[in-house]
A and B are shown apart, each in its own frame.
Chain A
Amino acid sequence: MTMETTKSTQSDTSARQAILDRIQTKRVDIPPLPDVDPERVIQFDQPIDKFVEMLAMVGGQAHQVDSQADVRGVLDEIDVFKTATRVVSLAPDAVAGTIDATQVDDPHELATLDWTIARGEFMIAENGSIWVDGDTLPHRVLLFIAQYLAIVVPRSQIVSNMHQAYERIEGFGGRFGVFVSGPSKTADIEQSLVLGAHGCRKLQVFIVGDM
């Protein structure tokens, strides 16, 4: 066993060297690395309107509310929320959950989760996506395993395009982060779009004025 491990490790090192050597043997002129000129990319005068339009296009639903206290009322109008029993909320000022995810050790225990109410950092107008910082999630799987997902995001936090989005997360030091654009979906059967592939079946986004 020890012998085998040693042999494998050596073969890894030699592959590394072989690959790097082969690249270094063939010198290629290196043109400069281009940067994007912010003046040459699209910006929106009404980014919230664009975000709402794009979110609808990718299958999500936007709700503009004044404060986090208004979120609950909107959710209560949704049948699958009224009947939900297993809810994790990472935005306790908006909705109280029924499960404390920080007390869950094994993510598999979240298999039967009905809803996750997550917090979004900011919105991107051009594609209706929201940046969710992994550090806000006690378990990464919360975002993907719940049958339904809601994301609460401050109205003031919005950028026009992905260049600005990456500018905002420049130097991001977390282990995980994701742009979420609409509910999970697939068109793998005859190009028929079906919402609710492996992740959430629907996505509600709460754009909160005072947050």
Chain B
Amino acid sequence: MLPIVQHPAAAKEFVNDPNRSRWHDQALWFVRSKRDKQAGSLPEWEYLRETASGIKTHTIANMAHYLQEFERNATARGAVVHWARDAEHHNEIVLRILRDHKTKRIVKSKSMLTEECGLNHYLEDNGIDVVDTDLGERIVQLRNEPPSHIVLPAIHIKKEEVGQTFHTHLGTDEGASDPKYLTEAARGHLRDKFLAGEIGITGVNFAIAETGGLVVCTNEGNADLGTSLPRVHIACMGIEKLLPRQRDLGVFTRLLARSATGQPITTYTSHFIGPRDENSELHIVLVDNGRTRLRESETFRAAMHCIRCGACMNTCPVYRRSGGHSYRATVPGPIGSVLSPTRDQNSYKSLPYACSLCGSCSDVCPVKIPLHHQLLAWRGELVGKKLLPASKRWAMTMASYLFRFPRLFRLVGKVGRFALRILPRWATHHRFNAWTIARELPDPPKETFRDWHRRHRTK
């Protein structure tokens, strides 16, 4: 049983530091603004989103066919395809490949899937030295934290804190916080790790059924350095990463980086088709881990469209102010709040409520996942399963009762307005009433809407 995540409690520390919360909010809004600029530069932006959504809907519906086509073509090009039921199985497969090669040192580029599976800790427990090579991931790895964002793993950390971490682990000057200096130090440190790495592990942005090839997108070039030195490349991917044809990439490479960071394309968009040469190996691990179950849900299936760009996080008013760690999940933000409860409804039941239903996430999603509709749908499911706290359930039952009896409604309204006039502040603002922590009660209206309506109706 997973522990129950209470988003408000988990977000408290972050929110109670107004400077950090505001700084985080602005950093992400800056990324969102860059995205808007790029999206606005293409007249066909909406057409691309519709096409991307259509391609994903088609592929996910026809998934068994495309998975087999991919396996056939990848194998014909010399890759070894593995199938993993769940996170544990995935980790076992990767460890077995490492053991077959007597490997102790691996270099890893960013993969949300391996985060989802907890691969790093599993390998470390089995005596493997795992080096995350994406700068942001390396920072959080050295600090022994999980990433707080799927594209910008260290977005919650200030440069002074990075400086302190690098001073401790890489021996940079004490108090140094210049991003250029720190990045240069990481470059030197990680070059040595790249040269010493025995196997490279990467994630996958897109897998192409028609060619059996993989596409990996990075800005730093770490996936490329990490796979072009060692002889063995292990690529780990969720089964939803599939696209039918190579030309479908035209749509997705145009959407991904523009949505993620406001770049027209990532620095490197690398296409791997089979292993490097006759003496090299490419292992591809296809992971289910709940995806086939998600596919069975009419309501939530479209969440499988996700290309992990992070645009929904950058725009989300709740994510921006509460930080990624408050979701206690590999994928935070709106898409995370849809996906996490599909793993365990009870543990993640508070996440669909970490949302104001403003709909901004649905507007920016490059593959048109109806995120805020899905979050609302989750609330319906959770209420139906009685997974809400008793206080909320009780209040909802009372409200529904009230709305069914007009006379009772009027009477309670009258009592309420009277109470607003006479109640002393201490009766409403006390430690048992969380609602009034940062709110004042309104002044009672001089006239009710009902009376006003009656007065004007006859005229």
CB-based contact B254/A161 at 8 Å: yes
Cβ of A3 under 8 Å from chain B: no
CB-based contact B249/A162 at 8 Å: yes
In the bound complex, residues from chain B placing their C-beta under 8 Å from that of A174 are: 273
**With A28-B60, A178-B271 known to touch, is A127 a contact of B265 (CB < 8 Å)?**
yes
Cβ of B96 under 8 Å from chain A: yes
Produce 1/0 per residue, B143-178, CB < 8 A to A: 000000000111100110010000000000000000
What band does the interface of chain B fall in when counting residues whose beta carbon is under 8 Å from A? Answer: 35 or more
CB-based contact B139/A181 at 8 Å: no
> How far is A78 from B163 in the complex, measured between Cα atoms in Å?
32
**With A188-B153, A194-B183 known to touch, is A126 a contact of B264 (CB < 8 Å)?**
yes
CB-based contact B225/A198 at 8 Å: yes
CB-based contact A40/B221 at 8 Å: no
In the bound complex, residues from chain B placing their C-beta under 8 Å from that of A19 are: 67, 83, 85, 239, 286, 288, 292
Max chain A Cβ within 10 angstroms of own Cβ: one of B191, B222, B265, B301: B265
- Stretch of A69-77, A84-92, A139-147 lying at the B interface: A139-147
SS class, residues of chain B in contact with chain A: helix
In the bound complex, residues from chain A placing their C-beta under 8 Å from that of B152 are: 187-188, 191
> How far is A34 from B368 in the complex, measured between Cα atoms in Å?
15
In the bound complex, residues from chain A placing their C-beta under 8 Å from that of B42 are: 42
**With A129-B269, A178-B270 known to touch, is A190 a contact of B179 (CB < 8 Å)?**
yes
In the bound complex, residues from chain A placing their C-beta under 8 Å from that of B273 are: 172, 174-176
Produce 1/0 per residue, B362-398, CB < 8 A to A: 0000000000000000000000000000000000000
The chain A residue sitting closest to B245, CB to CB, is: A33
> How far is A199 from B224 in the complex, measured between Cα atoms in Å?
9
CB-based contact B44/A42 at 8 Å: yes
Cβ of B182 under 8 Å from chain A: yes
A130 to chain B, nearest CB (A): 11
> How far is A172 from B210 in the complex, measured between Cα atoms in Å?
11
The chain A residue sitting closest to B26, CB to CB, is: A191
In the bound complex, residues from chain A placing their C-beta under 8 Å from that of B18 are: none
Cβ of A8 under 8 Å from chain B: yes
> How far is A141 from B139 in the complex, measured between Cα atoms in Å?
25
**With A15-B84, A34-B55 known to touch, is A170 a contact of B247 (CB < 8 Å)?**
yes
CB-based contact B228/A181 at 8 Å: no
CB-based contact B265/A26 at 8 Å: no
Could you show 25 A-B contacts with beta carbons less than 8 Å apart? A11-B89, A19-B67, A19-B85, A23-B67, A42-B42, A42-B44, A58-B264, A124-B265, A128-B264, A141-B228, A144-B225, A162-B265, A172-B246, A175-B272, A175-B275, A176-B270, A182-B267, A184-B221, A186-B183, A188-B152, A189-B183, A196-B184, A197-B221, A198-B190, A198-B222
The 7 A-B pairs at the shortest CB distance, nearest first, are namely A199-B221, A188-B136, A127-B264, A197-B220, A192-B179, A163-B250, A141-B228
B interface residues (Cβ-Cβ under 8 A, vs A): 27, 30-31, 42-44, 47, 50-51, 54-55, 57-64, 67-68, 77, 82-85, 89, 92-93, 96, 133-136, 139, 152-155, 158-159, 162, 179-180, 182-184, 187, 190-191, 194-195, 211, 219-222, 224-225, 227-229, 239, 244-247, 249-251, 253-254, 261, 263-277, 286, 288, 292-293, 295-296, 301
A interface residues (Cβ-Cβ under 8 A, vs B): 8, 11-13, 15-16, 18-20, 22-24, 26, 28-34, 36, 40-42, 54, 57-58, 107-108, 111, 124, 126-129, 139-141, 143-145, 161-163, 165-167, 169-170, 172, 174-192, 194, 196-200
